[in-house]
Amino acid sequence: MGEIKKDYTGVIGFRYRSEIERASTDDIEKIREYSTCNCADGMKKMYTMDAGIKPVAPTHKICGPAVTVRISLGDNLMLHKALGLVKPGDILVVDAQGCTTFSACGGIMMLRMFKLGVQGIIVDGSVRDIEDIREIGMPVFARGVVAQGGGKAGPGECNFPIACGGVVVNPGDIILADDNGIVCIPKDCADQVIDGVEKKLAKEKNSYAEIEAGQLVKGDVDEILKKKGIC
């Protein structure tokens, strides 16, 4: 059996990919026009992160390719490594296994991210230095804020598939985050999602027209009930 050629450096538990295929700029800019609600509808209510991950300070919409990081509990060694792999416009997505006891990163790391052109960071865990986060102004989404930091020993991985908020995120997928939440658009499905969003928006346009015309109760409710045997 032939040896499989590796496209990464290191071994499982301590490995990273330096190069990833990012979603196209055109797809990212089109997705940016929508809200996370629009995209959740366009993906048939799939790929929406759970409500536990929220903005930790007033923020704005971000949309860009994911650089993925998995860290062990109380350790952020590979998140530091990820800072050497990001490109301007990227969004860091961190699988901290939902741990809220330790901070995955704080103000100094976030300032480095901001200076590197990172749009924002999504953490399935906690962060710290809320005062610095507000001052830096980079969007930060996390499960919570905690004072306790961690170590730098590993293990961890960069640019491999991770779980974040109950969703699988692959390197290069499109992350869209706003005040409603966070969605992940698989990079090879962006055109399908855009088509789904546009169809849903067309239906919503009809609903607004009905309201303007004075129809304030959804017109097909009785028809739906009838199909369920309720007259």
Cα four-point dihedral sign 176, 178, 182, 183: negative
- How confident is the prediction along the chain (231 residues), in pLDDT tens digits per residue? 567 788 999 999 999 999 999 999 999 999 999 999 999 999 998 999 999 999 999 899 999 999 999 999 989 999 999 999 999 999 999 999 999 999 999 999 999 999 999 999 999 999 999 999 999 999 999 999 999 998 899 899 999 999 999 999 999 999 999 999 999 999 999 999 999 999 999 988 888 887 788 877 877 888 888 888 886
Q: Where are the domains of the chain?
A: 9-188
194-215 per-position pLDDT tens digit: 999 999 999 888 888 877 888 7
Bridge partners of 116, per DSSP, are none
Tens of pLDDT, residue by residue over 149-187, are 988 998 999 999 999 999 999 999 999 999 999 999 999
**Domain 9-188: which CATH class?**
alpha beta
- Give the integer Cα–Cα distance in Å for 133 and 123: 14
Q: Work out whether strand 167-169 and strand 162-164 pair parallel, antiparallel, or are unpaired.
A: antiparallel
CA distance 78 to 191: 32
* Beta strand pairing call for 54-55 and 14-16: unpaired
